[in-house]
Amino acid sequence: MSTPLERALTAIDAAHAEDPNKVTINATSLPYELHYAQKCTSYLEKRAPSASEPLRLAIRAQHFRRWEVPRASYPMTRPGYHAWRTFLKKRQAELVEQICLDSGYTAEDASTVGSLIRKEDLKVNEETMVLEDVACLVFLDDQFEAFEKEHDEEKIIKILQKTWGKMTERGHELALEIPMGERPRGVVEKALKGN
């Protein structure tokens, strides 16, 4: 007999596997969102190995079906970016709450997962802070080097300082362990000196 956790994770990963965007890892092509979700889970193991089931599910589903609402579907402005992010969090939370209910979780547990995905009570909820740490760590590990090449240094430094400000001390410790190329590492060091 599978558990609600196993059923929910299977359903979440099945959806991730539908992502048409691919990434090549160790000569294997993977749907990007499945790769992202696996990376999030691996950082959760480092950040909070005894995490609750709702947190494990929220971490695994953080970008749930995100490819269906591309960034370009909103104005390419700061308000457009924030509107896109707000819509995504709400949509992702609703979809994943339904998966939790279908998998046998209580309405309360499903609601907790949704609240975490929406990053509610970020400054006071320990689990939401862990989720934010994981999101920042995956950005730094998986997306930062490519991102850093596409933007000017001043913008990158501001983004890094904002990212760093969202993280806990444990998140900072894990971030400093991430292997990076010489140029990205240099930009990170500059950002932290100014922080």
Question: DSSP E strands: which ranges in the chain?
Answer: 22-25, 28-31
HEC sequence for 174-188: HHHCCCCCHHHHHHH
pLDDT of residue 195: 54
Kindly list the distances between the CA atom of residue 157 and the CA atoms of 116, 162, 166, 184, 187, in Å, as whole numbers in the listed order: 28, 9, 14, 10, 7
Considering the domain architecture, whether residues 81 and 26 belong to the same structural domain is answered as yes
* Helix 32-47 × helix 126-138 angle, to 10°: 130
Considering the domain architecture, whether residues 133 and 53 belong to the same structural domain is answered as no
CA distance 158 to 94: 32
More confident residue, 147 or 97: 97
Considering the domain architecture, whether residues 98 and 21 belong to the same structural domain is answered as yes
Would you say the pTM of this structure is higher than 0.85? yes
pLDDT of residue 192: 82
User: Tokens representing 67?
Assistant: 């490819």
pLDDT grade, residue 122 (50/70/90)? confident
Considering the domain architecture, whether residues 98 and 15 belong to the same structural domain is answered as yes
Considering the domain architecture, whether residues 62 and 151 belong to the same structural domain is answered as no
Considering the domain architecture, whether residues 131 and 111 belong to the same structural domain is answered as no
Considering the domain architecture, whether residues 26 and 88 belong to the same structural domain is answered as yes
DSSP at 2: -
Count of C-beta atoms within a 10 Å radius of residue 11 = 17
SS3 74: coil
Name the residue type at position 31. P
Greatest pairwise CA separation for the chain in angstroms: 54
pLDDT in tens, 81-102: 999 999 999 999 999 999 999 9
Considering the domain architecture, whether residues 116 and 147 belong to the same structural domain is answered as no
Name the residue type at position 135. A
Give the range of the structural domain holding residue 94, as residue numbers without chain letter: 1-120
> What is the domain count for the chain?
2
pLDDT of residue 6: 97
Query: Euclidean distance between the first and final Cα of the chain, in Å?
Result: 51
Considering the domain architecture, whether residues 159 and 113 belong to the same structural domain is answered as no
Name the residue type at position 138. V
More confident residue, 143 or 120: 120
Considering the domain architecture, whether residues 140 and 166 belong to the same structural domain is answered as yes
